[in-house]
Chains A and B, each alone.
Chain A
Amino acid sequence: MLDFFTIFSKSGLVLWYYAFQDVKGNFTDPVNAFIKSVILQERGGSAAFVHGTVQMKYMQDNEFELIFVVGYQKILTLSYVDKLIDDVHRSFRDRYRQQLLDGTLAMLTADFDFKSTFAHLLKNAEHVTVLPKQMKGFSESKKSQKTIESLKIKKTEPTSKKNDRRNSEIEKPKAAEVIDPPKEEVNPDEIARRIEEFKRKKTPKATKTEKKQKKGKTGKQMRIWDQGGSAKDAAVLDYSNPNDTSSTNGHNGRANGGITEEERGWIQGSQHIQELVVENDSEAETAASPDVAPSNRKKSTGIFNLFSNLVGSKALSKDDLANVLKAMSEHLIGKNVAAEIAEKMCDSVSAKLEGKVLGTFETIASTVKQSLQESLVQILTPKRRVDILRDVLEAQRVSRPYVIAFCGVNGVGKSTNLAKISFWLMKNGFRVLIAACDTFRAGAVEQLRTHEARLNSLYPDGDQPKCRLYEKGYGKDAAHIAMQAINAAKEQGYDIVMIDTAGRMQDNEPLMRSLSKLVTVNSPDLVLFVGEALVGNEAVDQLQKFNQALADHSNMVNPHCIDGIVLTKFDTIDDKVGAAISMTYTTGQPIVFVGTGQSYPDLRSLNPKAVVNALLK
């Protein structure tokens, strides 16, 4: 009843396969999908995977670097599959041990004639029917063993007698304590002295008021309130600059949209987004570690190989790994990785290393650390090409604006990072339209207007591209404003539309529905989830619920979910960079930008190796 059964090496060569009625094409697609989503995304902890109608179960052999995958229709619940995989694994390994040890060339040229053995094992497995668990009869239950007497509750209450005994035991020490403090000799002088003290303590006011009177007559001072005042104070409270002619509401006298000279220097910066630098004790470590990692993977040199033949090599067992992985998991949690993500990562690493044979001079801890490092870098490295400028050029070519939408919970830095990204895009010569779709929060539109003014003064109208704010005030429907903004951008030749949405909690259903409507109606090119690096376990919940909401409420066959993550407030966390892992693991989407401060040049791209080094230090 199986669709297929394949045995392939981790390096991609299929050593043997069985396909139902020999239809070869049946297994490559599901297996490739399986590899992409389970192994490459480090979800190796669970042993099952569903692709369309096919349910797959698998097992990794880490000693010879093989994977055994079986696929069958989801609707069939086959009970013998687990046992079958085990049997096949053992039999294949024992039979072809020599070829597998000999290396790649042997694996290519060897003929794995496993068909008959497999057919035999399959028949055995199918015939061993697992009987459903028989229910226990009454005679076997515990209740029938008890006597009737013990079940009766008697009025004389034998159990309360026990309580009395216990109480009396407790009371005895108490009585002893009461007796213990020695009796003092009552002295009449002592008594008088104590009465005096007591009286003195009772009247503290007298002393205090004496002290006050000694200071002199100060009287009660009238309290001055910050927000209060009368017309007499008007002169004191007037902060307006009589010489200022260009100030508008909210700007306190600085000309040019509020840009200082120092900030004007930001235009001179490079068009590049610099790579992220994580706080490190030695900068050389980040450069040196790529060399360190490969040398561990190299096979040991000639002389050491001699020794390896003398000393026996050990295969790793689950228990060996459990201790080390527990320590690693706690270390990761200490670095702000969400608890369940740390657990899943360690399960995946354990599945990858179980049964692996260690080299002679490798310790378990170093192997585990090496493997964990590779997995973490793998998770942080993007799975698809991340090149926003290229995509914008593509959209320019077909004369339509490139639309980026920002979503996230309250207070993570959406508007600030929107401005930073606009600054970067404008530096690369694009014209940006900012759509103010946050129609709820007081001051949201004004905030964006300030950013627009500052960006425009940094890149003035005349010779260089400009930035414009599209807003319709407060209280309106965000999706509608976004649609109008995109149309306006198309008409007026803006290259990019940045949609700023209101912050919302992931549990708030009406707001999530409204966000989903905005995304569905306007179909942006990029939906960026903005998350702060300070978040801990919440990150997993936020991302899951946002993704779920975007998928559920969209009414489309292929819903547009989160495409990328902007990680903000990275400068506040020192080296506790675990939020990056939590977020990328939950969604599988890459971290596109990292925000490292509140001014415009504080935008970086993610450097997986640096982050992982900081994480594992």
Chain B
Amino acid sequence: MMDSWLDFLLYDDGVRVAAATILVLVLTAVLYLYATSKPPRSSVLLVGIPGAGKTHLFAQLVSGETKETVTSLRENEAIYNTSADSSGKTKQLSLVDVPGSSSIRDQILDNYKHKAKGLIYVIDGENASRNIKDVAAFLHRLLTDDVISKFHPDILIACNKQDLLQSKSKRVIQGLLENELNTVRKTQNAQLSDEDGTGDATRGANVFLGKKSESFKFEHLNKFHVKFCECSGKPGEEKENIDISEVKDWINSL
């Protein structure tokens, strides 16, 4: 019986061709699935306006080195090993430093948004009140973004450059941000719209953050877990014990 089957397969052209195509199709399907399989969300993104200190923070987190930095034109990506937790396991996360310049950050953010497990929003503590409008506008943009809303990663707002004398504490910055976001959520919604769905798909301008009747507070955001912390990449004169340990702890807790 087997012989007759094999004979049938080998000598009949039509069946041979059919078998060959089926084999090729199966192989292609396997390759395709392998190639496009999405990795699970395992990135932590460092975002913020230019000059906040993201690249410097990135260098410290990844290697412990303090490097001179200039304005980034491309993203920095590296593997970050979290410290061992209670069960002794370490996780591997991909740490991505997204450049702050407004002309390139949107494009680069599009590549990493869907992989973000956590978002670190870095703020320059010294210039916080001067730049508050830009800081709040970008933060609002992130919080109302479609992809980020869908995956709602944890958010850490890191008040950086605490080593400098003039830098503000996290409470002050939180107050400033909440004030500004209160106004920005109304004006940004009046700017853009994707009502008929033909606009840029990532602008979720219909989202109104917080509660309409009350002024904005971060605890009103039910989708996002927002935490504030202070950090510093360089040793300072007064606040000597501030470093990046709070940031590291937060990443470990993800």
Contact = CB atoms under 8 A, between A and B. Distances in A.
B232 to A, nearest CB: 18
B84 interface: no
Interface stretch (A128-136, A198-206, A272-280, A541-549): A272-280
A35 B71 contact: yes
Given A275-B193, A303-B31, A14 B67 contact: yes
Report, as a range, how many residues of chain A touch the other chain.
35 or more
B77 A378 contact: no
A36 B69 CA distance: 14
A605 B193 CA distance: 9
A262 B134 CA distance: 40
Contacts, number: 168
Nearest to A291: B110
Contact of A383 (B70, B103, B194): B103
B205 A10 contact: no
A273 B192 contact: yes
Interface stretch (B13-21, B156-164, B181-189): B181-189
Interface string B189-221: 111111110111111010000000000000000
B41 interface: no
B73 A11 contact: yes
B78 A103 contact: yes
Nearest to A397: B183
Contacts of A255: none
B73 A607 contact: no
A10 B74 contact: yes
Interface stretch (A178-186, A387-395, A410-418): A387-395
A345 to B, nearest CB: 14
Nearest to B73: A10
B190 A428 contact: yes
A272 B69 CA distance: 40
Contacts of B68: 14, 17, 24, 28
Given A270-B195, A384-B102, A390-B187, A290 B73 contact: no
A56 to B, nearest CB: 13
B102 to A, nearest CB: 6
Residue from A65, A104, A105, A383 having most chain B Cβ neighbours under 10 A: A104
Residue among B67, B104, B189, B190 having the largest count of chain A Cβ atoms under 10 Å: B190
Nearest to B135: A385
Interface stretch (B58-66, B119-127, B170-178, B222-230): B58-66
A390 B183 contact: yes
Interface in B42-82: 55, 59, 62-63, 65, 67-79
A374 B74 CA distance: 12
A304 B32 CA distance: 12
Interface stretch (A234-242, A293-301, A463-471, A505-513): A293-301
Contacts of B201: 286-287, 290
A13 B59 contact: yes
A429 B133 CA distance: 21
Interface string B114-155: 000000000000000000011001000000000000000000
**Closest 7 A-B residue pairs measured CB to CB?**
A12-B72, A272-B193, A275-B199, A389-B187, A14-B68, A294-B111, A12-B55
Contact of B55 (A13, A274, A287): A13
B99 A379 contact: no
Interface in B95-116: 97, 99, 101-104, 106-107, 110-111
25 contacts: A11-B55, A11-B74, A12-B76, A13-B76, A14-B67, A14-B68, A14-B70, A104-B62, A108-B65, A108-B67, A272-B195, A273-B192, A273-B193, A274-B193, A274-B199, A275-B203, A277-B198, A277-B199, A286-B200, A293-B110, A303-B31, A304-B35, A378-B104, A390-B183, A609-B200
Given A36-B101, A274-B196, A275-B192, 12 more contacts: A9-B74, A11-B74, A13-B59, A13-B67, A273-B191, A274-B192, A274-B199, A290-B110, A374-B107, A378-B103, A389-B190, A393-B187
A357 interface: no
A25 B195 CA distance: 49
A272 B55 contact: no
A283 interface: yes
Nearest to A104: B78
B11 interface: no
A36 B103 CA distance: 10
A382 interface: yes
A442 B111 CA distance: 54
A67 to B, nearest CB: 8
Given A383-B103, A387-B187, A607 B200 contact: yes
Contacts of B77: 104
Contacts of B31: 303
B59 A108 contact: yes
A40 B192 contact: no
A163 interface: no
Contacts of A382: 102-103
A395 to B, nearest CB: 13
B62 A108 contact: yes
